[in-house]
Structure 1
């Protein structure tokens, strides 16, 4: 069924719920690998430095901490996984990454933006759902 699942992750509660669903689906096939993809938003990276976090190791560690709960969940359930950290606009970067790989399913959390917020801010999950070339599961 699904051998390669991308879990789009930003370290939020929504991403943790998405990870729970990815874990559930991955249990059905021993060959399934979950690739946790975290995109460092260039705008956020700049704000880290502005806020005084200039040590690159500190910045990198804080990003990895956002993935810890998901990593613990996957390990606990014995799900094979990898973590990939990319840089760029989260929506565009995930779409490009998925469309250039051999991916069977993308799972992402939804922040639950209202229509106006989504129009003004955009939505990573919305971009993914509209633009990737494989099935997508959006978790509320």
Structure 2
């Protein structure tokens, strides 16, 4: 169905249901690629450099290792993926990534664990769904 999927990955969210949904979304789509995109915030970057002496490459290596259970789940289902990391403000970097690439759909996990009537979606999920001109699938 879809060949080019953007998956903004937030390490604070649960992505347990996402691999199965991605498998359904890409079945019968030869050459489908899922871009797993993580934004390292400027605060995170500066604190890691200041307190842990880490640079961008070391931070992305750590995050790649942390992603291993998720990427293993994708590999188990035969899904092709690529990892991308950027530094900056999350919403701005996501909007830039979407604008500069021809993704067919954005797949997001929703952080909200409490069902509040006023705020059903998390801040980033709400802003991206509101501002992009392509389908956004939000997986609980």
Alignment partner of 1:83: what SS?
strand
Displacement of 1:124 = 1.3
Structure whose residues are more often helix by fraction: 1
Describe the shift of the 1:49–1:77 C-alpha distance in structure 2 as closer, same or farther (beyond 3 A).
same
Tell me how many residue pairs correspond in the alignment. Answer: 136
Question: Which is worse superposed, 58-67 or 33-42?
Answer: 58-67
Instruction: Report the equivalent of 2:42.
Output: 42
Secondary structure at the aligned position of 2:30 is classed as coil
SS at match of 1:15: coil
Note closer, same or farther for the CA distance 1:99–1:12 as it changes in structure 2 (3 Å cut): same
Question: Closer, same or farther in 2 for the Cα pair 1:98/1:38, shift >3 Å?
Answer: same
The equivalences for 1:28-107 within 5 A come to 28-50=28-50, 52-56=51-55, 58-107=58-107
Match of 1:138 in 2: 138
Maintained 8 Å contact 1:95/1:127: no
Corresponding residue SS for 1:84: strand
User: RMSD across aligned C-alpha pairs, in angstroms?
Assistant: 2.4
Assess, with a 3 A threshold, how the Cα gap between structure 1 residues 100 and 111 changes in structure 2: closer, same or farther. same
Residue 46 of structure 2: SS of its match in structure 1?
Answer: helix
User: Take 1:104 and 1:96, find their aligned partners in 2: how far apart are those partners?
Assistant: 15
| CA displacement at 1:70 relative to structure 2 | 1.9
CA distance in 2, matches of 1:19, 1:124: 21
TM-score by length of 2: 0.82
- In structure 2, the CA distance between the partners of 1:17 and 1:49, relative to structure 1 (3 Å rule), is farther
Q: TM-score, normalised by structure 1?
A: 0.82
Contact 2:13 2:110 in 1 (8 A): no
Q: Is the 8 A contact 1:41 1:87 kept in 2?
A: yes
